[in-house]
Structure 1
Amino acid sequence: MSSPNEAQSAWEEYMRRSGMPSCAFSTRKTIKIGTGTTTQRKESKIFWVGTKLDDSQFEIQRVNKHMAPSGDVQHIPADKFYKDFHPEVELFNTRILPVMRSIEQAVNRGDRHRERGEPYSAEFEYNIALGHDEQCVRALFGMGLVYLSRNETDKARNVFKELVEINATFAPEHKHLFNEFGIQMRKRGMFEEAVSYFQRGLRFDTDDENLFFNAARANYEMGNYQECVRNLTASLEINSAANEAREFARYLQQHIGRLMREARLENHIATPLREAVEHANLLAEQQTAPDGGPNASESKGNHKRLRYDTQSRNIDILS
């Protein structure tokens, strides 16, 4: 068995040669077979894909029977990784990497079909990816959006349950998928699921005004006005220059009496809601850019992704 120092040197040499921070590795597991005097010990290999995050830790994900990294992502200290994990470079290059590429290509094709309004072709491609890895996050998101586009809400709910149970490392693009999925759920009256998705996206980016704004919109539809205003305030605190967010704050202030009646709140109980709405409206009136600059209309360009219809009260983030 190599020492940790030798393993580290071998890993660094591999990264220099391949230009990749990931590779396949194996760990050994001893299994007892039989009982009593007939007991035998058999050693088996468990395969993983490991990725170096920094000098102190690695990210590992177990390889499934289809040779795809799948399931929960774990983080382990570098010294333990070098001690217990053995490189499987040939396996990675000849079997695992081709499967990973096949999954990515299928998902990309599925996304293109979905964006062109071809849900059945998209479903076919997502199923190819899920055939390799049934917990593929991007494929599950795509499949869920396909189901929602066809108003198959029960199937979409099943996908929703699968996604929230996966302990995966979500990439930046997944945040936008949470947002898009949440919007589509809200449009179909799946308000609780929509709020859960916006909240899940905010776990990975607490500074996204769009996620906060959409969470406010969904909570408004549910009649959760206090939570609506809390999320709208958070959105405005990040970017008070967003035109439609400011309109929404003014709309809430103009209709505070109706909101209180609908929520059946007595005046003394409704005081926190009234104060919260006033605070949101004050933020809206500031009209300052997130960096404090005077030209709010050019800041981030994020307000261009918001749409608010004063007639239907329909509010969406478009991207």
Structure 2
Amino acid sequence: MNHVLGIYSYCAKSHTGVGTTMKRGEAQTYYYVTRTDVDEFILQPLNQYDIPSGVIIKLSKKDFLTSYSPEPGYYEKKSFPALKSLEAKISKGEQFYEDGSLDESEKEFAKALIMDPENTRANLGMGSVLSAKGNRKKLENILEILINKDDTFMNEQRQQFNTFAISLRKQSLYDHALRFYTKAIELNSDDENLYFNLSRVHYDMGNNGMALQHIEKALEIQPDMEWAQKFKSYIEKRMQNA
């Protein structure tokens, strides 16, 4: 588990012009910083709402301490309240979704995405709503954001991602589900559940050979996976009767 260090700033100096016309300037960027147990420092820039968003940077202890300065009180006064507000909107959206109030859910996720357009959880929630409402055109945009965002597939997001991808499969959005699971496996190649679910997608598409290939990979990772054993037998019977 990462340890939150707070907000740090980086000051980039610039020069324009030459000689007597040279002008010096400084641009300060603020970062949300956490530290791992092995002294690796994880930085993410703050957006205009003081929320960590965008490209994640990883630095050694030496590189971090020599280039970044602490900003005492910034996290408590600005980022923490903003993050609480963002969390409240996402939680409301998820609760409305659970209750079947899709319009209200969409409104809350939209508010969250204004604050942090790259937020994985908000995008997953909005994608679920759009999928449930059958709004395929808007869903396409959300899917592109998610599929091209590496932190979508980080371990702490895995369960939410998996639930979303399952819903894509159940609504016959097979191509999108395949893209999600393929991307996820690139980053989590030792997760037997991803191979199992990818096998299910191929099975639903009628690709029995690919379905068998992926279920065998799931069993290679976890031989005692009972539901995978049963599904493998089911696929083999389907192939024999084809």
Asked if TM exceeds 0.5, the reply is: yes
So what's the TM-score if we normalise by structure 1?
A: 0.69
Does structure 1 residue 21 correspond to structure 2 residue 4?
A: yes
- Alignment correspondent of 1:182: 165
Structure 2 residue aligned with 1:242, among 226, 229, 238?
226
RMSD over aligned Cα, in angstroms? Answer: 2.3
User: Is residue 72–residue 168 contact of structure 1 (8 Å, CA) maintained in 2?
Assistant: no
The unaligned stretches of length 5 or more in structure 1 are: 1-19, 260-319
Shift of 1:207: 4.3
Structure 1 Cα separation of the partners of residues 17 and 110 of structure 2:
40
Shift of 1:194: 0.3
Secondary structure, aligned partner of 1:68: coil
Secondary structure, aligned partner of 1:179: helix
Amino acid at match of 2:77: T
Matches for 1:1-319 after TM superposition, within 5 Å: 21-33=4-16, 37-168=20-151, 170-237=153-220, 238-243=222-227, 245-257=228-240, 259=242
Secondary structure, aligned partner of 1:70: coil
So what's the TM-score if we normalise by structure 2?
A: 0.89
Shift of 1:186: 1.4
Shift of 1:123: 1.3
Bigger drift between 229-238 and 59-68 goes to 229-238
Bigger drift between 211-220 and 30-39 goes to 30-39
Secondary structure, aligned partner of 2:14: strand
Amino acid at match of 1:73: I
Are residues 227 and 174 of structure 1, via their aligned partners in 2, closer, same or farther at CA, if it must alter by over 3 Å?
same
User: Is residue 72–residue 167 contact of structure 1 (8 Å, CA) maintained in 2?
Assistant: no
Structure 2 Cα separation of the partners of residues 203 and 62 of structure 1:
26
User: Is residue 181–residue 197 contact of structure 1 (8 Å, CA) maintained in 2?
Assistant: no
Considering only CA atoms, is the larger Rg found in Structure 1 or Structure 2?
A: 1
State the Cα deviation string for residues 116-153 of structure 1 (Å, max 9, x = none): 11111111111221111110110000000000011112
State the Cα deviation string for residues 201-259 of structure 1 (Å, max 9, x = none): 3345444433222110111233433321121112334153524x333222222222455
Structure 2 Cα separation of the partners of residues 179 and 164 of structure 1:
13
The unaligned stretches of length 5 or more in structure 2 are: none
Amino acid at match of 1:144: G
Secondary structure, aligned partner of 1:67: coil
Structure 2 Cα separation of the partners of residues 169 and 147 of structure 1:
18
Structure 1 Cα separation of the partners of residues 194 and 153 of structure 2:
15
Shift of 1:25: 0.5
User: Is residue 208–residue 235 contact of structure 2 (8 Å, CA) maintained in 1?
Assistant: no
Structure 2 Cα separation of the partners of residues 176 and 199 of structure 1:
16
Shift of 1:171: 5.0
Q: Identical aligned pairs, as a percentage?
A: 27
Shift of 1:189: 2.2
User: Is residue 106–residue 128 contact of structure 1 (8 Å, CA) maintained in 2?
Assistant: yes
Aligned residues, how many? 240
Are residues 204 and 112 of structure 1, via their aligned partners in 2, closer, same or farther at CA, if it must alter by over 3 Å?
farther
Amino acid at match of 1:97: F
Structure 2 Cα separation of the partners of residues 63 and 199 of structure 1:
30
Bigger drift between 83-92 and 190-199 goes to 190-199
